[in-house]
Structure 1
Amino acid sequence: MNPLDRYEPLVDDVDAFRAACDRPLPSVVRTNRIKASPARVGDAFDEEGVAYDPVGWHDGLFRLTDGNPGGNWPHLHGWTHGQEEVSVLPTLALDPQPGERVWDACAAPGSKTTQIADAMADRGTVVANDNNLGRLSALRHNAERLGVTNTIVTNQDARNFSTKPLAFDEFDRALVDAPCSCEGTCRKNPDVLDEWTLDHVHAVAGIQKGILTRAVQATRPGGTVVYSTCTFAPEENEAVLDHALATEKCEIVPFDLPLETVPGVTEWDGETYDERVRRAHRVYPHHNDTGGFFCAKLRVGGTEEEIDGSDGDADGSDGDADGSDGDAGETGVAR
């Protein structure tokens, strides 16, 4: 069975959905503002004869006609980073601020980690964690190329992540861009559909629940956790959020994204989920000519006294995290 068949009841136009999933994915690069502005990148592309189209919904994204994001000098000099268009959404939802402490729980190979560092103006601390040691080398390489200096790299199972090696015990924000069954990437990697099994969906959903639980626990009251995947499976999306709502002090909050999305689903395969999962966003390939994606934003709960008494708020902190950016050997970038 093609796993896309099971998601047809969720989409508004089945034919358009299937046709989009069969088309190759556009090649996109993100401007690294640590080193260059979008205008400078555009000028550099013009000088080198790189054909491109700016992505209208987000300044600093460019679609490249030749499909080779790494074959030009702006990439080599760290002005740009090849990143799938919808992959920038979690950092937009997270909205990290300069001086904060941010955890990227599943970071390698570093696209989102470096985007977070960029959004923070390379100030504060990003803890980029991944349990795959081999992939962390790519993360470190990307961080160095992009000039990121505020990132510490850790190699732990995110479900049991320990802050003991750090100089602090909680984060202002956390991103869980979770490992998943990846059907949403079928436009760039069609093999994921051939390798898909329902057993894997159920197995990885258990891992996702553990990682999101730890992220909520590791984030201060009033802080923000963003959960994202590149799968269409409700078992890995809404069901994971439903579990977090039932077991942890957190709330799914409404937020806007600058492209067409649809709300999360509350019923699937005989299961019913908390109505608040509708505040999450589903991205389907035929709506924006992108990959498939899922993104939700959570506010960590606690008493009002705990939230009011914590350092900073969900939009900023006291900025003393800058002191941990000095170890060049532990610098990195994320997914």
Structure 2
Amino acid sequence: MNPLERYAPLVDDREAFFDACERPLPSVVRVNTIRSTPDRARAALDEEGVGYEEVDWNPELLRLDERGPGTSWPYFHGWLHGQEEVSALPAIALDPQPGEKVWDSCAAPGSKTTQLSAMMDDRGVVVGNDNNLGRLSALRHNAERLGVTNLVVTKQDGRNFSLKPFGFDEFDRAIVDAPCSCEGTIRKNPDTLDQWTLEHVHSVSAIQKGILSRAVQATKPGGTVVYSTCTFAPEENEAVIDHVLETEDCEVVAFDCPLESRPGVTEWEDDEYDSSVEQTHRIYPHLNDTGGFYCAKLEVTA
């Protein structure tokens, strides 16, 4: 059975959902405002003869007519960065401010990390963490190409991340774009589901709970933590939020999602989740012609 069949009851238009999952994903780039502006980047693409259309909800995102972003000089010079449209959402929900201390717990290869730095005008500090050395080299390469200077790179297990190397003991904000079963990336990686097992969903859910718990603990009272995945599985989404609401000092807060979305689910199979998860957002491929995604915003309460 196609693993996506298990999520059909959650989707309002089953046929449109499955059709969208089989189409290739549009090629999207984010304008890197550390090195350029949307106007200059668009002019450069015009000069290069690269066709594009603006994403209506964010002027810094452009859908390219050609596949892959790395074929033009604006990309090589760090004016553009390939980033899936929906993956720009977590940083926007987090809303980091210049001068703040922000933790990206699962940072590599760095699309969201460098987006955070750009939103902060490359001021303050972004701690980009990952536990995979190979992926960290990609993070460092991307940060260098994009001109990011406020990034500190660390290699730790996010579940027991230590702030001892730093001169501070809490973050203003944190983002957990968690490792997941990646079901929502099927348009980009059609073989994603070939290795899919329910056992993996449950095992990665335990890791997600640990990383998100640590993010809440490491963030100051009144601070913000954003959690996101590219999977449809409630075990990896609402169940993780429900767990952290029970075990840590935090609450779900509503945020305006600029993409069409559906509310988080409060029931799945034999489980029930805290009613506040309805304020989280599920994004299905057929709603905005994107990948599948989930995003939740938390406020630390103590």
* Structure 1 contact 2–194 (Cα < 8 Å) conserved: no
Instruction: Note if 1:238 corresponds to 2:271.
Output: no
Instruction: Note if 1:38 corresponds to 2:61.
Output: no
Superposition deviation, residue 259 in structure 1: 1.3
Provide the residue aligned with 1:228 in structure 2: 228
Task: Give the 3-state SS of the residue equivalent to 2:81 in structure 1.
Answer: strand
Provide the residue aligned with 1:140 in structure 2: 140
Partners of 2:260 and 2:189 in 1: CA distance = 23
RMSD between superposed Cα atoms in Å: 0.5
Superposition deviation, residue 43 in structure 1: 0.2
Provide the residue aligned with 2:129 in structure 1: 129
Task: Give the 3-state SS of the residue equivalent to 2:59 in structure 1.
Answer: coil
Which residue identity does 2:140 align to in structure 1?
R
Partners of 1:203 and 1:56 in 2: CA distance = 37
Partners of 1:181 and 1:296 in 2: CA distance = 17
* Structure 1 contact 103–128 (Cα < 8 Å) conserved: yes
Provide the residue aligned with 1:294 in structure 2: 294
- In the TM superposition, 1:81-230 aligns within 5 A as 81-230=81-230
Superposition deviation, residue 269 in structure 1: 1.0
* Structure 1 contact 230–294 (Cα < 8 Å) conserved: yes
Partners of 2:19 and 2:157 in 1: CA distance = 38
Superposition deviation, residue 82 in structure 1: 0.1
Partners of 2:279 and 2:107 in 1: CA distance = 25
Structure 2 unaligned runs (5+)? Answer: none
Partners of 2:150 and 2:50 in 1: CA distance = 31
* Structure 1 contact 174–225 (Cα < 8 Å) conserved: yes
Instruction: Note if 1:9 corresponds to 2:23.
Output: no
Provide the residue aligned with 1:253 in structure 2: 253
TM-score normalised by length of structure 1: 0.90
Superposition deviation, residue 293 in structure 1: 0.2
Superposition deviation, residue 28 in structure 1: 0.1
Structure 1 unaligned runs (5+)? Answer: 303-335
Task: Give the 3-state SS of the residue equivalent to 1:47 in structure 2.
Answer: helix
Instruction: Note if 1:19 corresponds to 2:16.
Output: no
Superposition deviation, residue 60 in structure 1: 1.0
Partners of 2:104 and 2:147 in 1: CA distance = 18
Task: Give the 3-state SS of the residue equivalent to 1:9 in structure 2.
Answer: helix
Superposition deviation, residue 68 in structure 1: 2.1
Provide the residue aligned with 1:275 in structure 2: 275
Partners of 2:189 and 2:68 in 1: CA distance = 16
Task: Give the 3-state SS of the residue equivalent to 1:59 in structure 2.
Answer: strand
Report how many aligned residue pairs link the two structures: 302
Which residue identity does 1:48 align to in structure 2?
E
What CA deviation, in whole Å up to 9, does each residue of 1:253-296 have, x standing for no partner? 00001110010000001100000111100000001000000000
Task: Give the 3-state SS of the residue equivalent to 2:30 in structure 1.
Answer: strand
* Structure 1 contact 260–287 (Cα < 8 Å) conserved: yes
Partners of 1:288 and 1:205 in 2: CA distance = 26
Provide the residue aligned with 1:66 in structure 2: 66
Provide the residue aligned with 2:284 in structure 1: 284
Partners of 2:158 and 2:287 in 1: CA distance = 33
Higher relative contact order (CA 8 A, sep 6+): 1
Partners of 2:267 and 2:257 in 1: CA distance = 23
* Structure 1 contact 103–126 (Cα < 8 Å) conserved: yes
Partners of 1:298 and 1:135 in 2: CA distance = 27
Partners of 1:118 and 1:298 in 2: CA distance = 22
Provide the residue aligned with 2:265 in structure 1: 265
Runs of 4+ aligned residues of structure 1 deviating over 6 Å after TM superposition are: none
Task: Give the 3-state SS of the residue equivalent to 2:58 in structure 1.
Answer: coil
Partners of 1:259 and 1:202 in 2: CA distance = 28
Task: Give the 3-state SS of the residue equivalent to 1:232 in structure 2.
Answer: coil
Which residue identity does 2:105 align to in structure 1?
A
Partners of 1:271 and 1:135 in 2: CA distance = 35
Which residue identity does 2:171 align to in structure 1?
F
